[in-house]
Amino acid sequence: MAKQKAAGSRDIQEKRSEAREEKEFESKTVELARVTRVTKGGKRMRFRSVILIGDKKGRVGFGVAKGADVAISINKSTRKAKKNLFTIPLVNDTIPHVVAAKFGAARVLVKPAPRGAGIKAGGALRLVMELAGVPNVVGKLLGSKNKINNIKATFAALKKLRIRKSEVRNPPSINSGSRAESREKSETNLNTQIKQKL
């Protein structure tokens, strides 16, 4: 009886932790394919799933797994995605610099964008940026149309991102680049100078 109670309590704890993790991360199924493997006894059919997870605060991960059932393959790939999580460094609501990467025939180019530009990218690259929570970025997928290779190339590019020490110590202010504010400041300065002369 005691063993059964312990096992039951463990199951409840696991379910609670899974529910917490589901709330923490948002997941998207990029691809779900039926794959076959030819064996001595005939063909063996399985399901392959590609899952992207992210918390929309800079953390993102992906997983690829196969299973006898769709649910099994999705669970396996989400577990793998949680193990492959990494954080994207952000400066001024975008990536710090231009990066490019290649995986197989897939090539990816990712550039920083000004505030208000949004995510200007397509395919797997867009999904990665949305789940990571990168507000402004420009990206281009070149070469292959293979979703898995495109995701791997995107992750390879994002792992190259580095932040300079000067950007960490002196981060730019929110409205430092706005022209309207600089105009207002110059106008107020002129008005004060005129009043002093009068």
Residue pLDDT, tens place only, 52-69: 999 988 899 999 999 999
CATH code of 20-164, in short, is 3.30.230.10
Q: Give the predicted TM-score (pTM) of the model.
A: 0.71
Q: What percent of the chain has pLDDT over 70?
A: 71
pLDDT for 173: 44
The answer to whether 131 touches 53, Cβ cutoff 8 Å, is yes
**What is the C-alpha separation between 88 and 156, in angstroms, rounded?**
12
Domain borders along the chain are 20-164
